[in-house]
Amino acid sequence: MHIPDSFIPLGQAVIYWVIALPFIIMSMRWARKELDEMKVPILAALAAGIFAIQAMNIPIGMGTSGHMVGAALVAIVFGSPWAGVLVLTLVLLVQGFAFGDGGITTMGANILNMGVVSGFVGYYTYAALRKSVGTSIAAFGGAWLGLFISAMVCAVQMWLAGTFPLVPGLMAMGTYHLIIGFIGEGLITAVVITAIAKSRPDLLEDSFTVKSDTSKKEVHA
């Protein structure tokens, strides 16, 4: 899902940078406000894990590849999609500048897809489903859907760039990431979130649950 420089014309790449930049700035503001000495090591550990799993690329064709993302996992752990944007931005910066994985000019598009789309879709899907289906299934569904939607956006971007046709692109990216989302992204996210919920529920900073618990106490009072 890392889009190389040659896949998107510079003019379009600039547009994606302009769209992604406000999200990056907001994620940095979130970090200054929310991160403390206890949370920084957790964020760093998640970033390192995501960096590692993204190294496992599955060739799709037409010069593209599929892999897990991890933005939904980070967003759920920290109770905010801005955490997902921040971690994916840092990971993509290291991958692009230090290892040449993904383009520099197209990094705005990659951050938009993997950090913003995957993080926001994954987190709010999880938040919407958690009360009705439980933590594990909600985490699975959020991560799976976030990955799939981000892959679809990536395919559309490359169609707009004239890199490859729309329907074949959607089919290729969609099919592979549906599978990757099921056996990789969704499953790993569900396992990690379930383990944290059982062993260290204090680490799951779920603002939706906090509000719900508070409202229930007020009603009974």
pLDDT of 55 over the 90 cut: no
pLDDT of residue 62: 60
pLDDT of residue 97: 85
Measured distance CA(172)–CA(176) in Å, rounded? 6
Return mean pLDDT, the chain.
Answer: 85
The sign of the CA dihedral 170, 173, 175, 178 is negative
64: containing domain: 5-220
**Residues 84-101: what's their mean pLDDT?**
88
pLDDT of 220 over the 50 cut: no
Confidence of residue 182 (pLDDT cuts 50, 70, 90): confident
Report the CATH number that the domain containing residue 104 is assigned in CATH. 1.10.1760.20
Query: Are the C-beta atoms of 200 and 155 separated by less than 8 Å?
Result: no
Name the residue with tokens 């489903």.
129
Domain count, the chain: 1
Helix (H) or strand (E) holding 59: strand 58-61
Q: Which of 66-70, 99-103, 183-187 is the most confident on average?
A: 183-187
Q: Which residues pair with 58 in a beta bridge?
A: 66
Confidence of residue 63 (pLDDT cuts 50, 70, 90): low
pLDDT of residue 205: 53
Of the two residues 163 and 216, the one the predictor is more confident about is 163
Long-range contacts of 158-164 (CB under 8 A, 24+ apart): 158/3, 158/7, 158/8, 158/64, 160/12, 161/7, 161/8, 161/9, 161/12, 162/9, 163/7, 163/8, 163/62, 163/63, 164/62
Q: What is the pTM for the complete model shown?
A: 0.85
**Residues 180-204: what's their mean pLDDT?**
85
Q: What phi-psi label fits residue 36: left (phi over 0), alpha (psi between -120 and 50 degrees) or beta?
A: beta
The sign of the CA dihedral 118, 124, 127, 129 is negative
Nearest CA-CA partner of 88 in 129, 60, 49, 34: 49
pLDDT of 58 over the 80 cut: no
pLDDT of 211 over the 80 cut: no
Measured distance CA(155)–CA(174) in Å, rounded? 9
pLDDT of 148 over the 60 cut: yes
Q: Which of 64-68, 121-125, 198-202 is the most confident on average?
A: 121-125
Token pair listed for 116: 């913003």
Of the two residues 161 and 52, the one the predictor is more confident about is 161
pLDDT of residue 214: 38
Radius of gyration of the chain (CA): 17
Measured distance CA(142)–CA(176) in Å, rounded? 17
